[in-house]
Amino acid sequence: MKTDISKLREPEFIKLFNAALIKIKEDPIENFIKAPGFLNFTPTFSQNTILKVIFNQKLDSIKKEEVFIEDSSTGVFGLYKEKLTEVELYKLLTREEYKFPHEVKNKINLILGRRAGKSTMTAALAICFSIITNYKPYLKKHPYATVLILSHSRDFSEEILDLIKSFIENSPILSRLLTNSKKNRQTAFNLRIPFIEERELSYSNVMIRVGAASKKTTRGKAISVLICDEIAHWNLSENSVDSDIDIIRAVRPSLAQFKDKAYTFKLSSPSIKYGVLYNEYELSLKKELPSDYFVVKAPTWVMNNFLDSKHFEEEYKLDPTGFASEYRGDFVDSISNFTSPEHVDSCVVSGVTEFEPENSDKIEVSYVAAIDAAFKGDKFAFTIVGYLRGRVKQYVLEVWEGTKDEPVKIYEVVEQIRKICKKFDITKIFADQYAFQPLKEIFEKYELNLEERSFTNTFKKKIFFNLKK
């Protein structure tokens, strides 16, 4: 006969819960993640392998299971099945040899294609770490340990919050941990977790909440679990104020008080080759990350065995460029997913470096000039772009390339720029921060005003979205 958890008195429930905690700590996957009374989640072979690494369980080197692998031999997209052990799969997921035992992995990067189950895995892990860890000894000034879910918009964050809440509410045991606090709302809810340690009862209070990714969201909180949802796309959000690098830097002190009991999950389908997730992936390939990092990169079909190869073949035919980041799980060059090469080619007039200015009596045009300075082994570039009739047209593109033995002769270059600018009635030229002050002084000698636009993350993002619009 099953016990009706809802009818247990509080002392009886506390005793039952702590008895269950002992078993959960022995095997979190079988006794919590998969257990019907708790999360009742059945992970795929690949998901289960990742969970075992995070929970510091030894991987199997004998038993094999089927995994979809991309067939790159035919020149067209296709998948085949290959049997792998957990150890072999680990190498496929991480690009490194498996070693056991290993240090606690509490900084987890899941770089996975869409529909790979990264949100579900992370939600399950966040709940598990929240209920098996007594955070009370780590809390000095704060009443709650916070599980913070950040995304480039609050709506996206709330999807994981809803998933966590659904797991908890559907468990007869976990739902007893929910408080009736007035602080429970759509964007946050609280758990009160009883621990019996050395025959003493204490409560660990956990707040699970969401927020849009910013430095302000992380201030004044004791963060025990940080979930960075779709972090590869934070820098591409037009509304984001802070870069992903700034946000992660700001949140580290809030995690530090929990030591190795604090967990950071960065999960995302890849985007452009830029930002925290891409940088840490590159460092992982070079074996330059600390040992508490666990970086996984995999296409959807390796993680998800519910979708057949036909689904991926159709997606590839519809959008082969977007397929690389969306499903294959590859980082792409910044321009790759912005517009197609054919669209770019249709805008190019080959062999022409300069158009004459428009007749100002007939057409009103706003001209802007800019340089990208270089002197040795790179190109010193100058351009004039005009905005007319709702469109952008490039009127001038000139480059000068120097070498180590013969650098660009700056005075000759500026003289040529001056002559071109005179035709377009331009006296102001934009430049980045490279060698700005000496260049400004040289340009002033030719009656040209050089104005600085430092290439910060925020400014690059502004340029990108202006161009996109």
* C-alpha span between 211 and 218 (Å, rounded): 9
Beta bridge partners of 243: none
What are the φ/ψ torsions at residue 79 (nearest 5 degrees)? -125, 150
Mean pLDDT of 10-38: 96
Residues 6+ apart with CB under 8 A from 467: none
pLDDT tens for 280-290 read 999 999 999 99
Question: Smallest Cα–Cα separation from 138: which of 202, 68, 82?
Answer: 202
Whether residue 110 is predicted with pLDDT greater than 60 in this model: the reply is: yes
pLDDT, position 461: 66
pLDDT tens for 159-207 read 888 999 999 999 999 999 999 766 566 788 999 999 999 889 999 999 9
Question: Smallest Cα–Cα separation from 164: which of 178, 151, 154?
Answer: 178
Global pTM value: 0.75
* C-alpha span between 399 and 370 (Å, rounded): 12
> In Å, what is the CA distance from 165 to each residue of 170, 185, 186, 188, 315?
8, 11, 10, 10, 32
**The listed CATH number (3.90.180.10, 3.40.50.300, 3.40.50.970, 3.30.470.10) that belongs to domain 5-326:** 3.40.50.300
pLDDT, position 468: 66
What are the φ/ψ torsions at residue 80 (nearest 5 degrees)? -135, 160
Beta bridge partners of 266: 109, 228
Q: Would the CA dihedral through 260, 264, 270, 274 be positive or negative?
A: negative
Among 14-28, 71-85, 344-358, 390-404, name the most confident range: 14-28
Question: Smallest Cα–Cα separation from 45: which of 35, 60, 31, 32?
Answer: 60
- Residue written as tokens 């690009």? 95
**Continuous segment of H or E residues that includes residue 107:** strand 107-112
Type of residue found at 337: N
Residues 6+ apart with CB under 8 A from 250: 215, 218, 219, 242
pLDDT tens for 242-286 read 788 889 998 999 999 999 999 999 999 998 888 899 999 999 999
Question: Smallest Cα–Cα separation from 324: which of 22, 111, 106, 21?
Answer: 111
State the CATH class of domain 349-468: alpha beta
> In Å, what is the CA distance from 456 to each residue of 18, 331, 424, 434, 451?
51, 21, 29, 12, 15
Whether residue 450 is predicted with pLDDT greater than 70 in this model: the reply is: yes
Cβ atoms < 10 Å from Cβ of 22: 9
* C-alpha span between 229 and 226 (Å, rounded): 9
What's 219's DSSP letter? T
Domain ranges of the chain: 5-326, 349-468
* C-alpha span between 373 and 370 (Å, rounded): 10
pLDDT, position 376: 84
